[in-house]
Chain A
Amino acid sequence: MLTLFRTFNLRYLAKHKLRTATIIFGVALGVMIVVSIMLLNQSILRSYRSLVDTVAGKATLQVVPNTDSGLPESIAGEVASVKGVKAAIPVVHKDTFVFIKDKQSGALFVYGIDPKKDVAARDYEFAKGRQIKPGEFGAIVVTESWAKEKGLKVDNHIKLTGVEGIKEFRIVGLLANKGPGLANAGLFALVDINTSRALFNRGGKVDQVDVVLISNEKSKTIQSHIKAKLNGRAEVEIPATRGAEIQKSLDSMAFYLDLAAMLAVFVGAFIIFNNLEMSVEERRFGISTLRALGLNRKKIFSLVVTEAVLLGIIGAFLGVILGSLLARAMSEAVAGYLITELRLKITDVGLTTQVLIIGLLMGPTIAAAAAIGPATRMLKVAPLEALKPFETAWRPVGSTLKLIASVLVLLIGVGMLLVLFFVPGFTDKISKNTPQLTNYLLVSIFFAFLGMVLLMPYILAITIKRSNSRSFVLRLALDNLRRVPGRTAATITGMMIALAMMITIVGMVDSWKYYVDDVFDKSLGWDILVQTGFFSGSANVPLNEGFGKELAKIEGVQHVEARNFPFIKFRGYNIQMDIFEMDKFFDISYLEPKDGKYDQMVKDLKAGGSVAVSAMFAKKFGYKKGDILKLDTPTGKARLKIVGVINDAGVDNGFIYIDRRDYKRYWKDNSVDAFAVKAGKDYSVSTVSKKIKDRWEKSYGIKIRENKEFRNEIMSMLDQQFALTNMIIYVAILVAGFGIMNSALINILQRKRELSVIRALGAKRRQIKNLILSESVITGFIGAAFGGIIGIGLGAIIVVGQGMIVDVPIKYLIPWMAIIGSFIIALSLTAIGSVIPARVALKREIVEGISYE
């Protein structure tokens, strides 16, 4: 067997280096994408955990508010009084902006600690300098690694953004590279707790209480005791398990990544399949001879599969290596998104054993799966069949049974999608659980694609007719594509799926952008937004209400209104609250109630004690107008009446709109995330915004966004979410283009005789080039055409369906630009891809092809 393998397989593989390389590459593609996505996902979780863990130190429990509002200082005492608690350590923390020598220099996660109490939770080790002293104002400890990066030493000064403007600090110590010194990738600093209270408008408050237990006490038991005592005013968490919440936020992003990964595996599998098929084809002679010599079917089957597995293993190694590199690139690509959406910085994207094993197993598995078809075909080679000198003209497409099976698979996929989106009860049930929904979607899309793939040969046989074209070039090109429908289909499919994905995603993003922009157009109302950071970004240091009064004094400012956008934890989900001064809000802005009763809603919201919720929120959590929404707050339960359900732009979990007075009453927080400003009629927006900027930019570090800029930022945030997915899709398109080229190459090797004859009959170089070019371009064109149809169909189903799930009146926009683009991409990739095969064909001597080998 081994000698057989050596002569029959290895020699062939060594001889056909390009073929062999392509199969390995196909495996590597699939493995690479899957590995990189898993690594990215894991590293996000790991980074989050390490942030929580290193900062938590010896604390086994943490008491945190369910929003950004902070908790009353007294809560630390309450927690300390619970039996079994050894120490309850208060912390005030915030992400803020840093200025070095008056230039903004990124952000820092600033921990305000009580140095005396904090030793119970954390061991600080200093590389240089010392810990801050209790009550010491203007002193800060930073990590050694950060200081090194920024070229700072002990006794240097840095500035931080605070509610009262930018404040200066002197570095008194550098944390060594261990424990807390590693927190948040080194973007971590310590100040005195009261300093940070003043800095971040946290007077009388804490953001977190770290709980150290008396040894032998079970953390779960004490957790429930503290929970009982606080009765919903704060969350009690075990730091080590806090990854779960970030996982939830990752779920929505994960869907598109998984989809892209599925696509990559698909495309990879097709490349493998196509090439194995080819190599089997090329060895028909050898096989039939082996059969004639008495080798049984089983042996032949295992020869082919073994070969595939061997290549799969090599490809898997390559894929794991490339995947680790890609994960790195992807983490760069999503860095912005993660910081704004998840408030997280990825620290390391190293390879884990788990991912390594999965990657290494996956390679041979895909390869073996892709080899089953070709290997089975190999079995059908009769002992004498391949000795026949003549290649048959038309390969049969397949049996009726296969056709029926293919149609069924397609119908299952499309049917599952339709059921999901258009059977109301089912939709509601499944859309409550995000992972379940995404898995269902992935499975149905998988079936839809698979069905398309299986049907493709039949579709081709019907669409590519035996033409009577005057041009022999076109005629021969079409003949050749029709001749082996299975191969052509496999080639087209790669391109089709890649482009379909692109068009689907672009269609979705465009539709949402259009919808969101439309909502903003109607509802925003303000001209200028004044804040220190990004809209809902990590480092947005709040301002105080007094700042608003100063703003109102600026000439040309007609309207100033405080807004907050904290997240609240509600039934395990992070929900954004929009805190508005309702009595002023509606002077300039607008919310569209689902039932159209605008005036009544406005009146009810102005009255207070009420909320509006977005349609998504209402649907997801089962609320309707008139219900009472109960929210946990630091002062106990808030019971607020839902007076409106809003058509809003939110996708994930929806929004809650609350009046600022209610927010202050229940959450005891009077800081302001942003001021919405409208300029007077006779003033230009840019003049007013310049005035505000000139006055406070230096001293407060404020950032000013005009309406247009803000909207662009939101749009680019939507784009950012898909940056990764797009990256994967582009890789897949490129690979699909490569697949077409490869298949053209294989084709040329197989049609040695035919091409030689045409040349012997006097065809010029140009005609040969055109023939090969036409074949490739037609393949690309069909791929793009089907890709377009599927992309539009899938995009429309998903957008309309999402609209129904989220309950917003969104319309699907056909992404014409992307469709045109995909044609251009497909045609140019295939045109470029035909250059090498054409060269190979022309380099060959004519006589080589026309005599017997």
Chain B
Amino acid sequence: MANKVEVKDVFKTYKRGKTGFHALNGISLSIKEGEFLAVMGPSGSGKSTLLHLIGALDKPTSGDVLIDGTFLSSLSDDALSQIRREKVGFIFQQFNLLPTLTARENILLPLKIAGKSSRENEKYANEIIEAVGLTNFSDHLPEEMSGGQMQRVGIARALAIRPSIILADEPTGNLDSKTSEEILKLLKDCQEKFKQTIIMVTHDAKAAAYGDRIIRLKDGQVDEEVEVYGANLISNL
């Protein structure tokens, strides 16, 4: 199968004092279409940074990211926007909901931005709202919701545009184990039903087990890579 996402020898360097600091240190990765990749690693190892680069939210200091065979560095700002709005659904570690919009409005926002708020799309969004268990909260403002509810809005928002790539930064970090399981199942469903490619950052080994493959980052590099065959293996990680 073709590579959906390729990360080629990527460095991301931040200025820290006089010297540079490599948040990503020459990392290379390939993710196949329809693959569910789990990314683990200690805090500060560069997981979020990696996700941002793949989601075209940020640019590598050197190296390149390819989506569907296209070099992101070759694209204009508007073309990058196009990728963000059409191909990538981003689930943020910090939710990042708009405070003046209700849950439902937040979820529909990407459709509006892309100018695709058709009846059919809204129907799909409603299904998602139901799936993430927000039906009763869809008219609430973010400030009226709990962390877990906000997280679910963030997930629904990412799924609403039916992206071919879902980038999830600790999507279950704020959820109890029961809800976590539901969300993870939902993501797995998406992968299976719609052939969506999923890259999920998580600290939780159980969550990581939903992936087809798990990578472990350390100091901005891939430290370890494991194909998942069963739960036992993972607990050894």
CB-based A-B contact count at 8 angstroms: 88
A762 touches B84 (CB 8 A): yes
Which one of B82, B109, B142 has the greatest number of beta carbons of chain A within 10 Å?
A: B109
B142 touches A390 (CB 8 A): yes
- Of the candidates B57, B58, B98, B142, the one whose C-beta lies within 8 Å of that of A476 is B98
Q: Which residues of A have CB within 8 Å of B44?
A: none
Q: Is B94 in the interface zone, CB < 8 Å from A?
A: yes
CA distance A760 to B83 in the complex (A): 10
Contact flags B137-157 to A (C-beta < 8 A → 1, else 0): 000011100000000000001
- By size class, the interface of chain A is 20 to 34
B57 touches A846 (CB 8 A): yes
B86 touches A851 (CB 8 A): no
A393 touches B113 (CB 8 A): no
Q: Is A683 in the interface zone, CB < 8 Å from B?
A: no
Q: Is B96 in the interface zone, CB < 8 Å from A?
A: yes
Q: A476-B100, A847-B58 are in contact. Are A761 and B143 (CB under 8 A)?
A: no
B100 touches A845 (CB 8 A): no
A761 touches B113 (CB 8 A): yes
With both chains docked as a complex, state the minimum distance between the C-beta of A67 and any C-beta of chain B, in angstroms: 71
Q: Is A472 in the interface zone, CB < 8 Å from B?
A: yes
Q: Is A625 in the interface zone, CB < 8 Å from B?
A: no
Which one of B83, B92, B101 has the greatest number of beta carbons of chain A within 10 Å?
A: B101
B100 touches A759 (CB 8 A): no
Which one of B82, B100, B101, B143 has the greatest number of beta carbons of chain A within 10 Å?
A: B100
**Which B residue's beta carbon lies closest to that of A392?**
B143
CA distance A761 to B85 in the complex (A): 6
Q: Is B78 in the interface zone, CB < 8 Å from A?
A: yes
CA distance A850 to B117 in the complex (A): 25
Q: Which residues of A have CB within 8 Å of B83?
A: 762
Q: Which residues of A have CB within 8 Å of B81?
A: 759, 762-765
**Which B residue's beta carbon lies closest to that of A389?**
B94
Q: Which residues of B have CB within 8 Å of A762?
A: 81-86, 88, 110, 113-114
Q: Is A754 in the interface zone, CB < 8 Å from B?
A: yes
Q: Which residues of A have CB within 8 Å of B77?
A: 764-765
CA distance A390 to B98 in the complex (A): 10
Q: Is A479 in the interface zone, CB < 8 Å from B?
A: yes
B99 touches A852 (CB 8 A): no
**Which B residue's beta carbon lies closest to that of A766?**
B78
Contact flags B79-108 to A (C-beta < 8 A → 1, else 0): 001111110101011101111110000000
A761 touches B55 (CB 8 A): no
CA distance A604 to B192 in the complex (A): 109
B110 touches A761 (CB 8 A): yes
Q: Which residues of A have CB within 8 Å of B99?
A: 390-393, 754
B100 touches A760 (CB 8 A): no
A767 touches B48 (CB 8 A): no
**Which A residue's beta carbon lies closest to that of B77?**
A765
A761 touches B84 (CB 8 A): yes
Q: Which residues of B have CB within 8 Å of A816?
A: none
CA distance A472 to B111 in the complex (A): 10
Q: Is A283 in the interface zone, CB < 8 Å from B?
A: no
**Which B residue's beta carbon lies closest to that of A393?**
B99
- Of the candidates A470, A472, A850, the one whose C-beta lies within 8 Å of that of B96 is A850
Q: Which residues of B have CB within 8 Å of A711?
A: none
**Which A residue's beta carbon lies closest to that of B110?**
A761
A393 touches B112 (CB 8 A): no
CA distance A391 to B99 in the complex (A): 7
B94 touches A852 (CB 8 A): yes
A850 touches B92 (CB 8 A): yes
Q: Is B52 in the interface zone, CB < 8 Å from A?
A: yes
Contact flags A755-779 to B (C-beta < 8 A → 1, else 0): 0111111111111000000000000
Q: Is A753 in the interface zone, CB < 8 Å from B?
A: yes
A850 touches B142 (CB 8 A): no
Q: Which residues of B have CB within 8 Å of A392?
A: 99, 143
A760 touches B57 (CB 8 A): yes
Q: Is A394 in the interface zone, CB < 8 Å from B?
A: yes
Q: Which residues of A have CB within 8 Å of B110?
A: 761-762
CA distance A393 to B109 in the complex (A): 17
With both chains docked as a complex, state the minimum distance between the C-beta of A814 and any C-beta of chain B, in angstroms: 38
Q: A759-B81, A760-B84, A762-B82 are in contact. Are A847 and B57 (CB under 8 A)?
A: yes
Q: Is A480 in the interface zone, CB < 8 Å from B?
A: yes
Q: Which residues of B have CB within 8 Å of A390?
A: 99, 142-143
CA distance A621 to B177 in the complex (A): 92
B78 touches A765 (CB 8 A): yes
Q: Which residues of B have CB within 8 Å of A756?
A: 96
Q: Which residues of A have CB within 8 Å of B98?
A: 476, 754, 757-758
- By size class, the interface of chain B is 20 to 34
CA distance A846 to B101 in the complex (A): 20
Q: Is A86 in the interface zone, CB < 8 Å from B?
A: no
Q: Which residues of B have CB within 8 Å of A391?
A: 99
CA distance A445 to B20 in the complex (A): 61
CA distance A766 to B114 in the complex (A): 12
CA distance A391 to B101 in the complex (A): 13
Which one of A391, A393, A852 has the greatest number of beta carbons of chain B within 10 Å?
A: A393
CA distance A480 to B55 in the complex (A): 27
A470 touches B90 (CB 8 A): no
With both chains docked as a complex, state the minimum distance between the C-beta of A682 and any C-beta of chain B, in angstroms: 75
Q: Which residues of A have CB within 8 Å of B90?
A: 760-761
CA distance A760 to B161 in the complex (A): 13
Contact flags A462-476 to B (C-beta < 8 A → 1, else 0): 000000001110001
CA distance A815 to B55 in the complex (A): 55
A760 touches B94 (CB 8 A): no
CA distance A147 to B99 in the complex (A): 75
CA distance A663 to B52 in the complex (A): 94
B58 touches A851 (CB 8 A): no
Q: Is A122 in the interface zone, CB < 8 Å from B?
A: no
Q: Which residues of B have CB within 8 Å of A480?
A: 100
Which one of A482, A765, A850 has the greatest number of beta carbons of chain B within 10 Å?
A: A850
With both chains docked as a complex, state the minimum distance between the C-beta of A839 and any C-beta of chain B, in angstroms: 13
Q: Which residues of B have CB within 8 Å of A482?
A: 100
With both chains docked as a complex, state the minimum distance between the C-beta of B167 and any C-beta of chain A, in angstroms: 10
Q: Is A153 in the interface zone, CB < 8 Å from B?
A: no
CA distance A320 to B77 in the complex (A): 47
Q: Is A128 in the interface zone, CB < 8 Å from B?
A: no
With both chains docked as a complex, state the minimum distance between the C-beta of A526 and any C-beta of chain B, in angstroms: 69
B78 touches A764 (CB 8 A): yes
Q: Which residues of B have CB within 8 Å of A852?
A: 94
Contact flags A826-853 to B (C-beta < 8 A → 1, else 0): 0000000000000000000111001110
Interface residues in B38-56 (C-beta closer than 8 Å to A): 48, 52, 55
Q: Is A58 in the interface zone, CB < 8 Å from B?
A: no
A394 touches B113 (CB 8 A): no
Contact flags B167-182 to A (C-beta < 8 A → 1, else 0): 0000000000000000
With both chains docked as a complex, state the minimum distance between the C-beta of A418 and any C-beta of chain B, in angstroms: 40
**Which A residue's beta carbon lies closest to that of B101?**
A479
With both chains docked as a complex, state the minimum distance between the C-beta of B87 and any C-beta of chain A, in angstroms: 9
With both chains docked as a complex, state the minimum distance between the C-beta of A132 and any C-beta of chain B, in angstroms: 83
Q: Is A483 in the interface zone, CB < 8 Å from B?
A: yes
Q: Which residues of A have CB within 8 Å of B96?
A: 753, 756-757, 760, 850
Q: Which residues of A have CB within 8 Å of B92?
A: 757, 760, 850
A394 touches B100 (CB 8 A): yes
Q: A476-B98, A483-B100 are in contact. Are A758 and B113 (CB under 8 A)?
A: yes
List residues of chain B with CB under 8 Å of any chain A CB.
48, 52, 55, 57-58, 77-78, 81-86, 88, 90, 92-94, 96-101, 109-110, 112-114, 117, 141-143, 157
Complex A-B: 13 CB contacts under 8 Å: A390-B99, A390-B142, A757-B92, A757-B98, A759-B81, A760-B57, A760-B92, A761-B90, A761-B110, A762-B83, A762-B85, A850-B96, A851-B48
Q: A761-B85, A845-B58 known; 5 other A-B pairs, CB under 8 Å?
A: A392-B143, A393-B142, A472-B109, A761-B90, A850-B96
9 closest A-B pairs by beta carbon, nearest first, are: A762-B85, A762-B84, A479-B100, A472-B112, A393-B99, A757-B96, A764-B81, A846-B57, A761-B110
